[in-house]
Amino acid sequence: MNTSFDLNKILRPHIITLAPYSSARDEYTGHVGIFLDANENPYGSVTGENYNRYPDPYQAEIKQKLSPIKQVSPDRIFLGNGSDEPIDLLTRATCTPGHDHVIILPPTYGMYEVSASIHDVKIDKVSLTDDYHIDTEAVLNAVTPSTKIIWICSPNNPTGNVMQSDAIQTILENFSGLVVVDEAYIDFTDEPSWIRHLDKYPNLVVLQTFSKAWGLAGIRVGMCFASPELIRILNKIKPPYNISLPAQQALLEGLNGIEKKDKMVADILEQRDVLTGQLQALPIVVKIHPTDANFLLVQFEDAKAVMDYLIRETIIVRDRSRVHLCEGCLRITVGTKEENEVLIESLKKFQPQNVIV
């Protein structure tokens, strides 16, 4: 338990007293009536769909439906425009530009650094170890009085591995700022979510997404789980209607598809094992890093040549060879059985002379 954490001490002072924008749907939350309060078009929309009314700014129906799925109370849930929105809001709420710091653990998801840079927040980088785990002592030694957030991606992107739980626990117990555990790939591992520890650690924030396992990347909805006090701050500083009506409708329908989601995850995990075995048999592959995600980080003898070749074959993977500790590596998302077979057959045909110099 971290008894030294005080949310008000890490928030920017003006955020605490900020008066939020009050939308029409804040002032009247009913669903029945003649709505003449929000300057909407009363005749409908040009699409024929009922998009002429503003959506629920706090997505109450979705949170009620999501609550038992994630086993967390609705007042601990924030929904954003992808996970990128809570990443941005957490930075804005806590970090004074030109003064405060965040800690990231490269190699890791790039938006933590981008968000900090946008807000002129200093970024302190503490490298993962050579086997992609947290150097706990180095992280805590990097903390300064101006450090507001430590970002931890688990399973990590681009390496795919789960971070050791004892390291995260130690950081939570010894850091008086926010510890954000980004679980975008949590559905692809047997490791339990850190959501279960929200009551124990008031400085814990957990991010998840509907973009991966749920197959809803196109509607752009991310989840943030935290203390009710921090959720209220995020709701106060977010744009009034941050989740569109079509996205909310799609998500409400999608939450009925848990069995389909679980089946897709099982199929991906099965294909991940098959693809791993097929890649290991290729002489151009040096190493496949252990993964708990829906992708593989694969080291090749000549990653650039393989990348260029695959692009010409219209097979698109992600070049991570210039990323810290990922030298010579390509990140390959696990596709369908048919897509993976095309990838493997193409790689079998790869020869150095395929490279255009």
Percent of the chain exceeding pLDDT 70 equals 99
Integer-rounded Cα Rg, in Å, for the chain is 22
Beta strands at 178-182 and 204-209: parallel, antiparallel or unpaired: parallel
Output phi, psi for 258, to 5 deg: -60, -40
pLDDT tens string 66-104: 999 999 999 999 999 999 999 999 999 999 999 999 999
pLDDT tens string 338-349: 999 999 999 999
CA pair distance 260, 316, nearest whole angstrom: 26
pLDDT tens string 135-180: 999 999 999 999 999 999 999 999 999 999 999 999 999 999 999 9
Quote the pLDDT of residue 249.
Answer: 98
Q: How many CB atoms lie within 10 A of CB 27?
A: 9
19: phi > 0 → left, psi -120 to 50 → alpha, else beta; which? beta
Residues whose CB is less than 8 angstroms from the CB of residue 205 and which lie 6 or more positions away in sequence, other chains included: 86, 90, 178, 179, 180, 181, 224, 225, 226, 230
CA pair distance 174, 182, nearest whole angstrom: 19
DSSP-H helix ranges across the chain = 7-10, 13-17, 24-27, 60-70, 84-94, 111-118, 136-142, 165-174, 228-237, 245-254, 258-280, 303-312, 337-349
pLDDT tens string 37-55: 899 999 999 998 999 999 9
CA pair distance 200, 173, nearest whole angstrom: 10
Query: Does residue 1 have a pLDDT over 80?
Result: no
Residues whose CB is less than 8 angstroms from the CB of residue 228 and which lie 6 or more positions away in sequence, other chains included: 73, 75, 76
Q: How far is CA 201 from the centre of its chain?
A: 20
Positive/negative CA dihedral, 135, 88, 23, 61? negative
Quote the pLDDT of residue 189.
Answer: 98
Query: Does residue 107 have a pLDDT over 50?
Result: yes
pLDDT-derived band at 2, boundaries 50, 70, 90: confident
